[in-house]
Amino acid sequence: MKVRPHEVDGPAVDPDIDENGVDRAQIRGMLQLTPEERLLRVEEFIDSMIAIRKLNEERPVR
């Protein structure tokens, strides 16, 4: 069974923001993943966004 990225994340890491506003800790986290896990992480994120959008779709007023 494939390991999902959130299962290999480990403990949360504090942000490490550089002079351009880029979170270096986030990059280092990505670089610890395999290319396949990186893709799966993006897929999970997009799926989450789609789910949130659906939850917030306008519903007919009763």
Q: One-letter amino acid identity for 10? A: G
CB of 36 to other proteins, least distance (A): 5
Q: Alpha-carbon distance 46 to 61, whole Å?
A: 28
Collapsed DSSP state (helix, strand, coil) of residue 18: coil
SS3 assignment, position 11: coil
Copy the structure tokens of residue 44.
Answer: 């999970």
Closer residue to other proteins in complex, CB, 31/61: 31
Judged by CB under 8 A, the chain residues 2 through 61 that form the site for other proteins are: 2, 18, 20-24, 26-31, 33-36, 38-39, 42, 45-46
Q: List interacting residues with other proteins (CB under 8 A).
A: 2, 18, 20-24, 26-31, 33-36, 38-39, 42, 45-46
